[in-house]
Amino acid sequence: MSLFSEKHLAVLVLRDAPAIGDALRAELAAAPAADRPGLERALALVGRYADRPEHELRARWVRERLTAVGYEGAADSTEAIGVLRRAEPALSLLQAVTYAREAAAAEA
């Protein structure tokens, strides 16, 4: 079995959107009329972002990490991969390359 035959991705994508949506719906059910428009807007926003695929969330995570350290170039460049690994030392080279490619694809 090759070390590169499986992808072990270390970034855990947390999906709290269903729980947040449930909480907003509960609040909306009991809300006075003045509060309803804001809660309805919040519920619509949660719904829009809840179904994003994991690769999009990882791509956003990569771009946030790169931006946080001042890197603004191509996400899949050799320099970006090095920057990402320095920003997140627990990432393996394979993970960093995979995430960087996902980020570049999302930006294309």
Give 2-7's long-range contacts (Cβ < 8 A, gap of 24+).
4/94, 7/94, 7/98
Bigger pLDDT: 11 vs 70:
70
pLDDT at 51: 81
d(CA 80, CA 63): 10
pLDDT at 8: 52
My answer on whether 99 and 60 are in the same domain is yes
Q: What separation in angstroms does the CA of 77 have from each of 26, 45, 101?
A: 46, 33, 9
Q: Dihedrals φ, ψ of 74, to 5°? A: -60, 135
My answer on whether 38 and 72 are in the same domain is no
My answer on whether 46 and 61 are in the same domain is no
CB-based contact 74:80 (threshold 8 Å):
yes
My answer on whether 33 and 69 are in the same domain is no
Domain limits for position 27: 17-50
- For the segment 78-89, what is each residue's pLDDT rounded down to a tens digit? 999 999 999 999
- For the segment 2-59, what is each residue's pLDDT rounded down to a tens digit? 444 445 555 555 678 888 889 999 999 999 999 999 999 999 988 888 888 888 888 9
